[in-house]
Chains A and B, each alone.
Chain A
Amino acid sequence: MRLEIKDLHVHYGKIEAIKGISVVVNEGEIVTLIGANGAGKTTTLKTISGLRKVSSGAIIFDGQDISNVPAHERVDLGISQAPEGRGIFPGMTVLENLEMGKFHRKNRKAEMDEDLDKVYTLFPRLKERISQAGGTLSGGEQQMLAIGRALMSRPKVLLLDEPSMGLAPQMIANIFRIITEINKTGVTILLVEQNAQQALQRAHRAYILETGNVVKEAKASDLLNDPAVREAYLGTGAHS
Chain B
Amino acid sequence: MKIRNYWNLRDWGASVWEGANRTKRVAIALTAIVLVALLPFAGASFLATPIASYDAVLVYPVGIFVLMALGLNIVVGKSGMLDLGYVAFFAIGAYTMALMGTHTGLNTWEIMPFGIAFAMIAGVLLGLPTLRLRGDYLAIVTLGFGEIVRLVVLNSTWSKGPNGIANVPMPPDIGPLKFKLDDQKVFFWVVVIMILLTIWMIRRLSVRRPGRAWEAIRQDEDAAELMGVPTLKYKIWSFTLGAAVGGAAGVLYASKNLFIAPEMFTLNVSILILSCVVFGGIGNIWGVVVGATILGYLPDRIRFISDARMLVFGTVLVVVMNFRPDGLLPRKKREKVIVKKEVVA
Contact = CB atoms under 8 A, between A and B. Distances in A.
B212 interface: yes
A81 B226 contact: yes
Contacts of B226: 49, 51, 71-72, 75, 80-81, 83, 87, 150
Contacts of A132: 338
Contacts of A177: none
Contacts of B212: 96, 99-100, 103
Given A103-B212, A103-B213, A136-B338, A71 B220 contact: no
B227 A100 contact: yes
B266 to A, nearest CB: 35
B222 A83 contact: yes
Interface string A90-117: 1111001001110110100000000000
Interface range for A: 20 to 34
B53 interface: no
A90 B334 CA distance: 9
Given A136-B338, A136-B342, A92 B228 contact: no
Given A89-B220, A92-B219, A136 B339 contact: yes
Q: With a 10 A CB-CB cut-off, give which of A70, A71, A96, A150 has the most chain B CB atoms.
A: A71
> What is the predominant secondary structure among interface residues of chain B facing chain A?
helix
B208 to A, nearest CB: 11
Contacts of B224: 100
B307 interface: no
A70 B230 CA distance: 9
A84 B276 CA distance: 36
Q: With a 10 A CB-CB cut-off, give which of A72, A88, A92, A101 has the most chain B CB atoms.
A: A72
A76 B335 contact: no
Contacts of B275: none
Given A89-B219, A89-B220, A103-B213, A75 B227 contact: yes
B228 A93 contact: no
Contacts, number: 85
B230 to A, nearest CB: 5
A36 to B, nearest CB: 23
A156 interface: no
Nearest to A132: B338
A149 interface: yes
Contacts of A75: 226-228
A106 B224 CA distance: 15
B254 to A, nearest CB: 39
A220 to B, nearest CB: 26
Contact of B230 (A72, A92, A106): A72
Contact of A153 (B228, B231, B338, B339): B228
Given A88-B223, A89-B216, A91-B219, A103 B339 contact: no
Nearest to A149: B227
B103 interface: no
Contact of B222 (A51, A70, A136): A51
A50 B228 CA distance: 11
A153 B227 contact: yes
A13 B267 CA distance: 32
Contacts of A90: 219-220, 335
B326 interface: no
Contacts of A134: 335
B147 interface: no
Nearest to A80: B226
B333 interface: yes
A87 B215 CA distance: 14
A80 B227 CA distance: 8
Interface string B222-242: 111111111100000000000
Contacts of A76: 228
B62 to A, nearest CB: 31
Interface in A29-57: 49-51
Contacts of B333: 91
B215 A51 contact: no
Given A92-B215, A103-B212, A71 B334 contact: no
A201 to B, nearest CB: 27
A149 B228 CA distance: 12
Interface in A119-153: 132-136, 149-150, 153
B338 A87 contact: no
Interface of B: 209, 212-213, 215-216, 219-220, 222-231, 333-335, 337-339, 342
15 contacts: A70-B230, A72-B227, A87-B223, A89-B215, A89-B219, A91-B219, A92-B215, A100-B212, A103-B209, A103-B227, A104-B227, A106-B209, A134-B335, A136-B339, A153-B228
Given A51-B222, A92-B215, A101-B227, 7 more contacts: A83-B222, A89-B215, A91-B215, A103-B209, A132-B338, A136-B335, A153-B227
